[in-house]
Amino acid sequence: MTLLERSIQLNQSQIKKREIHLNRYHFLEYNLSEALIIQLEINIY
C-alpha cells in the first residue's frame, strides 16, 4: 500500500468517526430540546 493510499484510508476513517460523533451530538441536542419543551398534556397536580 502506498503512502497516498494509506493516507486516504486514514482520512476516510477519521471522517467516518467524526460523522458518527456529530450525528450522536445532534441526536442528544434534539433530545434535550424536546425535553425542555413545556408539555401541557402532562398534569403534575
The structure's pTM equals 0.61
DSSP string, 6-20: HHHHHHHHHHHHHHH
Q: Is the pLDDT of residue 9 over 80?
A: yes
- Per-residue pLDDT tens digits for 17-41: 999 999 999 999 888 888 888 777 7
Q: What is the pLDDT of residue 10?
A: 97
Q: What is the pLDDT of residue 18?
A: 96
Q: What is the pLDDT of residue 34?
A: 84
Q: What is the pLDDT of residue 35?
A: 83
